Amino acid sequence: MQRCDTDDHAAYRRVLERDDEEREALLDALTINVTGFFRDPDVWADLRPVLRELSEENGRDGVDVWSAPCADGREPYSLSMLVADDEEVNERRFRITAIDISEEALDAARAGVYETTRTTDIEEELSPLSDPTAYVEQEENVFRVRRSVKSRIEFEQYDLISDGPRTDMDLVFCRNLLIYIDTAYKERLFETLRDSLRPGVPRAREDRDGAPGLRDDFEPVAKRSRIYRYEG
């Protein structure tokens, strides 16, 4: 409101109604972008056998993964690096769709450039990999994701509430999305994620807040990491 020189909520609402850039700025300010390469190492350790199992499944032309939301891209890039780094996973089978409602976040994700700061140690974040230099180019404190890692990922703007489910996803990442979302919207979001998973034996990485009202649809694969299998 201060940036727009408005002194009450009604005036600011009128600004939002006519100013696309201000609406986008507000959206970015409200978006939760807690992220990092291989954030929560236990999750990625528990995910390895899931990826190996998906990689071995026959009867499909590939493995489709949804990163929702992808924030600055480090989560889908971590997944792309992990499938390439694991000798027991066929990396060529994986296709990753990384979505976010924020165009600013998507621009940063597509660029794939990250910098070590006083609070972010990119080299440490990449330590789970056998050879991080195979996946990023480093110049002093700046790290650029290599094209081979990007090639498995498609970034797009997507609203999980209004745009509805996708189809035939084998794995869904959904982390820290629901912290400030009302319960009614949480139900709708999880219905979207559930309905995006292919029938049979897909897996879902659920948000830390759980799946309100939909828990009966999932069986735990790794409880400590909140990795679940959809039993639809």
- pLDDT 10s per residue in the chain (232 long)? 455 667 677 777 787 778 877 665 565 555 445 578 999 899 999 999 999 999 998 667 899 999 998 999 999 999 999 999 999 999 999 999 999 999 999 999 999 999 998 778 999 999 999 999 999 999 999 999 999 999 999 999 999 888 989 988 999 988 767 665 777 788 888 888 889 998 765 566 655 455 555 567 788 888 888 888 887 7
Quote the tokens at residue 127: 């330590």
pLDDT at 1: 47
Nearest of 46, 73, 87 to residue 153 by alpha carbon? 73
- 107: how many CB neighbours lie within 10 A of its CB? 13
- 75: how many CB neighbours lie within 10 A of its CB? 24
pLDDT at 210: 54
Which amino acid is located at 35 in the chain? T
Q: Any idea where the domains of the chain sit in the sequence?
A: 1-30, 41-113+146-230
Fold of 41-113+146-230: Rossmann fold (3.40.50)
The phi and psi torsions of 112 (rounded to 5 degrees) equal 65, 40
Nearest of 110, 108, 138, 107 to residue 122 by alpha carbon? 138
User: Distance (Å, rounded) from C-alpha 228 to C-alpha 193?
Assistant: 12
pLDDT at 4: 64
Which amino acid is located at 219 in the chain? E
User: Distance (Å, rounded) from C-alpha 55 to C-alpha 53?
Assistant: 5
**58: Cβ contacts below 8 Å, ≥ 6 apart:** none
Q: Using CB atoms within 10 A of its CB, is residue 94 exposed (0-12), middle (13-18) or buried (19+)?
A: buried
Nearest of 150, 165, 158, 164 to residue 95 by alpha carbon? 150
Strand partners, 205: 173, 227
Cβ-contact 223, 217 below 8 angstroms: no
> How many Cα neighbours within 13 Å face the side chain of 58?
0
Strand partners, 197: 169
Strand partners, 227: 205, 222
pTM of the model: 0.81
**51: Cβ contacts below 8 Å, ≥ 6 apart:** 82, 83, 86, 89, 171
- 53: how many CB neighbours lie within 10 A of its CB? 15
R_g of the chain computed on alpha carbons: 19
